[in-house]
Structure 1
Amino acid sequence: MKKSISRLFLVGAISSLALVSCNNDDDNKGNGNTNPSGFVANPADFKGELKSGDKITLDATKTYYLTGKIQVNDGAVLTIPAGTKIIANGGTSSFIAVAQGGQIYSNGTAEKPVVFTSEKGTPGSWGGVVLCGKAPINKAKTATAEVSELTYGGDVATDNSGSITYTRIEFAGAIYNSEKEFNGLSLFGVGSGTKIEYVQLYAGSDDGVEFFGGTVNTKYIVSNENEDDQFDWTEGWVGINEYWYGKEGRNKGNRGIEADNNSSNHTLTPISNPSIKNATLIGLGATYTGEGENQAMKLRVGTKGKFENFVLANWAKGIDIEHDATLAWIPNDLFLKNVQFVNVTTEATGKTSAGLAVDVSKAYAKANNNGAGAGVDVPTWAKGWTRGL
């Protein structure tokens, strides 16, 4: 009997010790986080580098003030749960960048989107979100991202940089200099294993989203009131996309889409060749006299593309195709099927590399369609979690 009691006390003592140990360990980790590098997500001063082995989940009940660069390095994971708000105002010093091998999970819901914004509420208040993956590009085998100095590119087409869903990125686009400017979302060599769906890019000072090569696919993207292009690609991007809604605003922004292959060598491979189905691009009206060309789609320097069910509304020009390498893809590798023009002065123009005008009527076929889902109106899928529409 005494022996049994002794054993009972011994077991109890060990259990108590284990409980204390676990509690201390939980305090060190914080809500299940692991931070072998010592990184701490301080809501009042959110900045720093997550290193290999760091797995950090933010607290949706807190507001995080982005005071500098957050960099998610190879082997690290940053998770941003539904309803989290991150406020930045630090210009080019405030941005979130995911390096090759790092991952970000910014997954909101329609009722509780993740929001990246600024207190100033003005375009260019902060950098934006930058993902650098290992998927192919045509600039070189690998290259250095222009706004984060991180390496991108490679040969892993299915590379996975994480997931961004039901997320708003507002007032980004801080300017480094005349040659370097952040976008709302910059995707450098990002692979098809990455999920980009239900994302809004709102009121940035440059492009809404830009693809620098890679194989990443997207669905349900809203890009509105950004001061340059709403959608942009270059360096051999080959993603598959559905449901894009782009709208100019703030009396700025000259194009819905600006599409390139490679400006230095128009025939470099892999050649930009995205497919985009169900899209609406709305301009500021045919009489808009702001900076830049007033056109829905600029296709140039050798890009290919397959487009279907497009509504182009309120533009001086609908489609502009430039350079010999681009023109050569018409109609087999560059074609717009089911395009509807609404209040567009000139449907399409073409120009050779020498600047000579050419007919590009074989590059598209007209037909009424619903574009992103509701013609020129805001589609149902974009309601409730977006702003400015």
Structure 2
Amino acid sequence: MKKSILAIAVIVTLAFTSCTDDNNPSTPKSTFELKIDDLKGDITDGTVTLDPSQTYTLTGALIVKSGATLTIPAGTTIKTSTTALNTSLYIGVERGATININGEANNPVVMTSGQAAPKESDWGGLVICGDAKVNTGDNGTSEVGGLSFGGNNNADSSGKINFLRIEYTGAKFSSDKEFNGVSFFGVGSGTEVSNIYAFESGDDGIEFFGGAVNASNLVIVNAYDDSLDFADGYQGTITNVYISGVSKAGIEGSNNQGNDIATPMTDAKLINVSIVKGADAKFTAGEQAINFKEGGGKQTYTNLFVSGIDTFAKLDTGSGATARIDAGDFKVNGKNFVSTSNLTTDYVSTETGAGNGATLPTWATKISKNN
């Protein structure tokens, strides 16, 4: 009898140890079937981790559902199918789901076109949805992907994006329904975002729809709409931004399309920014360096450098935007913006911007196209 009791005690002890040993955490398994040459479908549970030694082919939408996690190690490459419809090719992260893009300096995660002659709009891009506040409502649906986003948790975390190069994105359903390079819908400040290189996007390079996520070290080269965009009550700080190849606006900042004084009001702080028009004639910067749009909200630019754009800003003339400008809520390099006549590119060209004025900064070479 004593031997039986002792055996039971040992089994119980081993079971308890295996469940509580923090030194050997286990990754929850997922029922998702991972296929290298057919990457698509819904990740509904557990954690799926890609193999950096493989090149994956994205053949349709890959959606990380609420409660599940997708982890992408440094050096992983994902290329798109050469035959699938471009608007069907994207990676989406639902509200409540997690994505961990764990790139490293000089060893980024790469998401790119699989076409032999790649170009903008070859595929969708990356869409991340969170539970943070958006001034269009607490339960919105993303413009692309049909994913729910928004809530009341500004500290929400959707995971992390570190050292990502994303190329040839921006597939279009129509003129008002388009993918960006990376889209953040209601993403919270608990999400870590740094070192993204968005190259050749058929729409915006990177866009923030509300939320409170901060970001640093963003490179946006050759976007065929706006390069960097934020709207819908975005509350955050974006540090170190290099933009080159401007089709419309270098930066488009808005409050709310339907209600230009909606709250929470956009309150964006941008620090160390270079906006370079680009030498190719197709880059016209038709909406200037800054497009202060749809109420504008509060926007503060510190150490902003602009090159090649004759008129600094395009201004919304509505009452919401006018009120913000009159209140001194549009600040550029330590001064309140009043009109295009007092802030020309001669003024902002004296700054260092993202590091080297019009030249790609040193930090950006760690994720650049030529890496």
TM-score interval for Structure 1 and Structure 2 normalised by the shorter chain: 0.7 to 0.9
* Match of residue 171 from structure 1: 168
**Residue type of the alignment partner of 1:306:** T
Question: What TM-score do the two structures reach when normalised by structure 2?
Answer: 0.85
The verdict on how the C-alpha distance between 1:33 and 1:63 changes in structure 2, with shifts beyond 3 A counting, is: farther
* Match of residue 105 from structure 2: 110
Aligned mate of 2:332, from 317, 333, 336: 336
SS at the partner of 1:233? strand
Question: What TM-score do the two structures reach when normalised by structure 1?
Answer: 0.81
**Shift, 1:316, TM fit:** 3.1
* Match of residue 99 from structure 1: 94
**Shift, 1:254, TM fit:** 2.0
Is the Cα contact below 8 Å between 1:59 and 1:84 reproduced in 2? Answer: yes
Identity of aligned residues (%): 35
* Match of residue 151 from structure 1: 148
Q: Name the CA distance, whole Å, in 1 between partners of 2:370 and 2:286.
A: 23
Unpaired stretches in structure 1, ≥5 consecutive residues: 1-13, 15-31, 340-346, 351-358
Query: For each residue in 1:299-324, what CA deviation from the matched residue of structure 2 results, as whole angstroms up to 9, or x when unmatched?
Result: 12112211110001111321222232
Q: What are the within-5 Å matches in structure 2 for residues 227-266 of structure 1?
A: 227-248=224-245, 253-266=247-260
Aligned mate of 1:80, from 61, 69, 72: 72
Is the Cα contact below 8 Å between 1:133 and 1:190 reproduced in 2? Answer: yes
Q: Name the CA distance, whole Å, in 2 between partners of 1:40 and 1:34.
A: 14
**Shift, 1:101, TM fit:** 0.7
Q: Name the CA distance, whole Å, in 1 between partners of 2:54 and 2:27.
A: 16
Q: Name the CA distance, whole Å, in 1 between partners of 2:133 and 2:57.
A: 34
**Shift, 1:234, TM fit:** 1.2
* Match of residue 299 from structure 2: 305
* Match of residue 19 from structure 1: none
The verdict on how the C-alpha distance between 1:367 and 1:222 changes in structure 2, with shifts beyond 3 A counting, is: closer
* Match of residue 39 from structure 1: 32
* Match of residue 356 from structure 1: none
- Is 1:67 the counterpart of 2:70? The answer is no
Is the Cα contact below 8 Å between 1:338 and 1:369 reproduced in 2? Answer: no
Q: Name the CA distance, whole Å, in 2 between partners of 1:294 and 1:382.
A: 25
SS at the partner of 1:110? coil
**Residue type of the alignment partner of 1:101:** G
Is the Cα contact below 8 Å between 1:224 and 1:388 reproduced in 2? Answer: no
SS at the partner of 1:203? strand
Is the Cα contact below 8 Å between 2:304 and 2:348 reproduced in 1? Answer: no
**Residue type of the alignment partner of 1:171:** Y
Unpaired stretches in structure 2, ≥5 consecutive residues: 1-10, 12-25
Aligned mate of 1:386, from 361, 364, 368: 368
Q: Name the CA distance, whole Å, in 1 between partners of 2:265 and 2:131.
A: 17
**Shift, 1:50, TM fit:** 0.9
* Match of residue 211 from structure 1: 208
Q: Name the CA distance, whole Å, in 1 between partners of 2:270 and 2:233.
A: 15
* Match of residue 370 from structure 1: 352
**Shift, 1:255, TM fit:** 1.6
Q: Name the CA distance, whole Å, in 1 between partners of 2:348 and 2:174.
A: 41
**Residue type of the alignment partner of 2:47:** K
Q: Name the CA distance, whole Å, in 1 between partners of 2:136 and 2:125.
A: 23
Q: Name the CA distance, whole Å, in 2 between partners of 1:289 and 1:203.
A: 13
The verdict on how the C-alpha distance between 1:79 and 1:142 changes in structure 2, with shifts beyond 3 A counting, is: same
* Match of residue 125 from structure 2: 128
**Shift, 1:365, TM fit:** 7.2
**Shift, 1:248, TM fit:** 0.6
